[in-house]
Chains A and B, each alone.
Chain A
Amino acid sequence: MTMTHKLLREGTLLPVLTVVLSIIVIWYAGSIRLNSPQLIDRYEKNGLDWTFAELAFDAWEMERPVLPSPHQVGIELKKTVIDKPFTSKRSLVYHAGITLSSSLLGFALGALLGIGLAVGIVYVSTLDRSLMPWIIASQTIPILALAPMIIVVLGSIGITGLFPKSVISMYLCFFPVVVGMVKGLRSPEPILIDQMRTYSASATQIFFKLRLPSSIPFLFASLKVAVALSVVGAIVAELPTGGQGGLGARLLSGSYYGQITMIWAALIVASLVSASLVAFIGIMERIALRRLNGGQAALG
């Protein structure tokens, strides 16, 4: 068993490394391609001769590149993540913390809202018919259009700071949770529902002993999607609030000041935050499914 596991793990390492390496190679090549017009202009203005090697070197070390090279982003990351104290407004950890807290609050609110709506939809057939179309319609509105309005409306009634940003995360999060939970709560086979009927179990007993445990695999699949969306929501929410902090604000000021490297660093930190959240939910999922399968490793 450990032998096959080891082989599997080694089996995935190589493909992953290959992909990462290819991305870096393509990135460096793209950096030359995108930065060279500017550089060649400059060479010609100054009447300089240049070789391809010099062009490549200059392209990777440009001060205001169109596409910064990977190591430039790396240096920016080191400067803003490791070198600065976490409390500094120039630290990306500080900004990631702001984004993370509103993502997590929004995620929690969205998950609760989603589970609540799903229970309503499964148990009340009127809700099934009346709510579901609106829930789907809610997701057809571009969040970029909606976010500033939510911030403004909530701001005008005196709610500012973390909460309005979380509302936007929540707005994105609840949808996959509703869809997954409705499917999950309806997943027990008819035979199991009939069986509960023969025990003359109450609706509450059927919910807690059968429907809720059966929905757990569906819930976790939804939560993984939702948690990644919550970070997107928080970043989108930080764009209209401008300059108050957070990775979104950082992206915005990067584009104001033409600091492309800063944008890339913020993007990478944002994706690392999302990836760790998804990974964390993944670990919780494995633990939960193992218990749900009576200690047997979950399939897939």
Chain B
Amino acid sequence: MSLDTDQNEIVVQVDNLSLEFTTSDGPVHALSDINLDIRSGEFISLIGPSGCGKTTLLRVIADLEAHSAGDIRINGVSPADARRQRAYGYVFQAPALYPWRTVRKNVMLPLEIMGLPHADQQERAARYLEMVNLAGFENKYPWQLSGGMQQRVSIARALSVEPDLLLMDEPFGALDEITRDHLNQQLLDLWRKTGKTVVFVTHSIPEAVFLSTRVVVMSPRPGKIIDVIPCVFDKDRTLDVRETPAFLEVAHRVREGLKAGHSYDDDS
């Protein structure tokens, strides 16, 4: 199978990356010997059970966590430099909105920090809120929005920085399934429209297979990659694709991968 992003330049390059935490019980191998190249325009899902290091890997890419061995490059530079260049937008598990700011002002927060002219801040806030279908909600406060809407504000905020790379840490994990399906479709449309590179952490198999160009299956103790599964579905796919044999086949392979990693074993 070949992907149409195969020839694109590498955005995230991870070589033999390891990360050890020192705890009172001794060292914990959060990540062990990770190798992964992510090319421009790809949608990569990191999937695995709790403790497999998927979020940790995302945090290393974002320079929120330091690796202990190996090498990682974002656009050819270190994660710290990439962070300082504001090369990525990060969407957290929780919307992380400021209650004292309106929706518009929340989206403007990173732009204020970047020191953009006020008019540009306003224009970008309007544009990206429109993109996540929240036009008209600019003057509302976060508490006036539903959980799904709040998470869309947080996506608009990450997009407003206009990064080429979007890092998303289980952004829809706390939402109900209907809202999640809806937002998955919206996110797919958004990705198609903007051509951004996305690294997406999830523990939902259908979500990963539906959204991704490649699904990276991870297993815990130590956190490592056990399979990388390409998903080549029609770019204009809708949620219905989840009923097709091709989709179920890929989903099956992801599930087998997770099983092979003994990921559903007890902590014994």
Which residues of A are interface residues toward B (Cβ below 8 A)?
189, 191-192, 194-201, 205, 209-210, 213, 291-296
Contact = CB atoms under 8 A, between A and B. Distances in A.
Contacts of B92: 191, 194-195
Contacts of A296: 99, 141, 143
B113 interface: yes
Interface in B78-112: 83-84, 86, 88-90, 92-94, 96, 98-102, 109-110, 112
B143 A293 contact: yes
A209 B113 contact: yes
Interface in B55-93: 62-64, 83-84, 86, 88-90, 92-93
Give the interface centre of A195, A197, A296 by most chain B CB atoms within 10 Å: A195
23 contacts: A191-B92, A191-B93, A191-B94, A192-B96, A194-B92, A195-B92, A196-B113, A197-B63, A197-B64, A197-B83, A198-B62, A199-B114, A199-B161, A200-B84, A200-B113, A209-B112, A209-B113, A293-B99, A293-B100, A294-B99, A294-B101, A294-B102, A294-B144
Given A205-B113, A213-B98, A194 B64 contact: yes
B143 A198 contact: no
Nearest to B80: A200
A194 B161 CA distance: 16
Interface residues of B, number: 28
Given A195-B92, A196-B113, 12 more contacts: A189-B96, A191-B96, A197-B64, A197-B83, A199-B86, A199-B109, A199-B161, A205-B113, A209-B113, A210-B98, A292-B99, A294-B141
Contacts of A200: 83-84, 86, 113
Top 8 A-B pairs, shortest CB-CB distance: A294-B141, A198-B90, A199-B110, A292-B100, A201-B113, A199-B113, A200-B84, A191-B96
A198 B64 contact: yes
A205 B110 CA distance: 10
A185 to B, nearest CB: 16
B142 interface: yes
Nearest to A292: B100
Main secondary structure of the interface of A (DSSP, over half): helix
A118 to B, nearest CB: 20
Give the interface centre of B88, B113, B142 by most chain A CB atoms within 10 Å: B113
Contacts of A195: 90, 92, 96
Contacts of B84: 200
Nearest to B102: A294
A150 to B, nearest CB: 40
Nearest to A295: B141
A213 B96 CA distance: 15
B64 A294 contact: no
Nearest to B163: A198
A77 B89 CA distance: 66
A127 to B, nearest CB: 26
B72 to A, nearest CB: 16
Contacts of A201: 113
Interface string B34-54: 000000000000000000000
Contacts of B144: 294
Contacts of A292: 99-100
Contacts of B101: 294
Given A294-B142, A294-B143, A198 B83 contact: yes
A194 B62 CA distance: 10
A201 B62 CA distance: 14
Given A198-B88, A200-B86, A201-B113, A291 B96 contact: no
Contacts of A194: 64, 90, 92
A194 B112 CA distance: 17
Interface in B152-174: 161
Nearest to B167: A198
A296 B109 CA distance: 21
A201 B113 CA distance: 6
A195 B98 CA distance: 11
Give the interface centre of A198, A201, A210, A294 by most chain B CB atoms within 10 Å: A198
Contacts of B62: 198
A223 to B, nearest CB: 19
B100 A213 contact: yes
Contacts of B93: 191
A190 to B, nearest CB: 10
Contacts of A191: 92-94, 96
